[in-house]
């Protein structure tokens, strides 16, 4: 295969060296960060396409610059495919990322000082759902709900309802970044309807599972809006999107808030890459892929349970797992991340519910199966990866265990190279 970066090699040796290094890192190790994946060459080509040259402020048919025949076509294709994938009435594919999508959604549906009821970051929520370090909390009032039982992952819906009746939020927000169970969408909608709030779901982590019919679609339960990234399980370029179930009024507010409210010219090369990824996700093979993500995650869960390592929420219903390595093995999440990284397994340290350690050196690790599933690993191989992880985490100073783990990961990465379509 010809060098994907041949022109960069001629023009900029320093950047070429870094890109080649990343190519090798991804090829020779196993990626378990649940928010990462391998995109197809078609997505990468679209992302680096000629559309990066074009300014397209506005929306299809309503641009501020001329020469929009092909950009309009690309964005319309992306919109139609997005709506078909998620059963949405309206879509906006211009947000530059998931955080941008959430911020635009807040400003479209709220007035300054309004309240949002969202999931606590320490219990699996997302930074953009109202963590005090974010600037959005200076404008809107965020109140958080938590799990009732961190051993099973059960959300305290009764407490959530009581809080909602007390604070009268304008948005009841579902979604997460480190929560491994499936939410009860009907309860979220019932609570939102009872207090006159919008029901919004941030599906960033599980968008691909929803698109592949491996997870429930919140729109089927009456959610008004969904926000998402377009990478992660959806296996598209890094970017964001906002979907509206049926309200044209809400969709108009969202469009106006995205542009001109927060963004100028959309990144049309990225929108083209989104369109390509949506087209891939509409294929029958993507359903097979999404289901295999879940099967692989359950296989890894089995190993960690058998080995006596505590899993937050007791396991997983989706693509990710959260393990308490400090409580189970006496090593911090940071130490575990470094040990596994050395062995060729990439994941991330992560705080757990009620963590007594700092976020930069927490008690847990977060890992998942989207990327290894793209490589073709199935349950048998996922069991082996999980066992290798456990072995080295239980015996971090045993050089023989380190060596055997490194050899096992090298063998798996060689046996299951990144498919040519994604390499």
Positions annotated as catalytic residues are 55, 57, 202, 229, 232, 238
Crossing angle, helix 268-281 and helix 69-86, to 10 degrees? 40
Angstrom distances, CA of residue 365 to CA of 96, 222, 269, 415: 28, 34, 34, 26
Alpha-carbon distance of 315 to 51, in angstroms, equals 43
Crossing angle, helix 333-343 and helix 399-415, to 10 degrees? 60
Alpha-carbon distance of 367 to 350, in angstroms, equals 9
Alpha-carbon distance of 90 to 248, in angstroms, equals 7
Angstrom distances, CA of residue 402 to CA of 2, 26, 343, 393: 35, 20, 7, 9
Is residue 327 within a helix (H) or strand (E), and if so which, with residue range?
A: helix 325-329
Q: What's the distance, CA 92 to chain centroid?
A: 18
**How many of the other CB atoms lie within 10 Å of CB of 112?**
9
Alpha-carbon distance of 171 to 115, in angstroms, equals 7
**How many of the other CB atoms lie within 10 Å of CB of 138?**
8
CA within 13 Å, CB half, 4: 16
Q: Which two tokens stand for residue 276?
A: 């390509």
- Residue keyed to tokens 């029901």: 199
Alpha-carbon distance of 118 to 358, in angstroms, equals 22
β-bridge partners, 58: 63
- 155 contacts 183 by C-beta, under 8 angstroms: yes
Q: If phi over 0 gives left and psi between -120 and 50 gives alpha, with beta otherwise, what is residue 53?
A: alpha
**How many of the other CB atoms lie within 10 Å of CB of 238?**
16
């Amino acid at each position: 295969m010809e060098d994907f970066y041949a022109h960069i090699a001629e023009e900029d040796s320093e950047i070429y060296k870094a890109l080649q290094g990343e190519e090798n890192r991804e090829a020779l190790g196993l990626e378990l960060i649940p928010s990462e994946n391998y995109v197809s060459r078609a997505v990468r080509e679209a992302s680096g396409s000629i559309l990066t040259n074009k300014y397209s402020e506005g929306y299809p048919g309503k641009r501020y610059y001329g020469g929009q025949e092909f950009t309009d076509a690309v964005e319309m294709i992306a919109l139609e495919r997005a709506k078909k994938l998620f059963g949405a009435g309206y879509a906006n594919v211009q947000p530059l990322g998931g955080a941008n999508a959430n911020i635009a959604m807040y400003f479209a549906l709220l007035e300054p000082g309004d309240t949002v009821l969202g999931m606590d970051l320490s219990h699996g929520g997302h930074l953009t759902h109202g963590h005090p370090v974010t600037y959005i909390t200076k404008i809107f009032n965020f109140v958080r709900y938590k799990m009732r039982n961190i051993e099973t992952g059960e959300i305290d819906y009764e407490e959530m309802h009581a809080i909602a009746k007390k604070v009268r939020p304008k948005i009841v927000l579902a979604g997460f970044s480190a929560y491994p169970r499936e939410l009860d969408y009907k309860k979220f909608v019932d609570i939102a309807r009872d207090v006159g709030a919008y029901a919004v779901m941030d599906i960033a982590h599980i968008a691909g599972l929803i698109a592949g019919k491996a997870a429930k679609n919140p729109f089927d339960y009456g959610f008004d809006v969904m926000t998402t990234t377009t990478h992660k399980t959806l296996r598209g370029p890094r970017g964001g999107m906002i979907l509206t179930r049926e309200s044209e009024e809400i969709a108009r507010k969202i469009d106006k808030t995205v542009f001109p409210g927060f963004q100028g010219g959309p990144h049309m090369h990225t929108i083209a890459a989104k369109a390509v990824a949506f087209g891939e996700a509409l294929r029958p093979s993507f359903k097979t892929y999404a289901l295999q993500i879940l099967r692989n995650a359950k296989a890894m869960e089995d190993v960690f349970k058998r080995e006596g390592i505590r899993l937050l929420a007791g396991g997983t219903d989706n693509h990710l797992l959260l393990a308490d390595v400090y409580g189970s093995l006496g090593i911090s999440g940071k130490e575990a991340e470094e040990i596994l990284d050395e062995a060729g397994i990439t994941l991330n340290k992560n705080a757990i519910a009620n963590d007594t350690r700092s976020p930069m050196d927490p008690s847990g690790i977060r890992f998942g199966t989207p990327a290894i599933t793209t490589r073709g690993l199935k349950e048998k191989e996922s069991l082996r990866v999980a066992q290798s992880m456990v072995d080295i985490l239980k015996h971090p100073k045993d050089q023989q265990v380190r060596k055997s783990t490194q050899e096992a990961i090298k063998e798996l990465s060689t046996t299951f190279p990144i498919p040519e379509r994604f390499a």
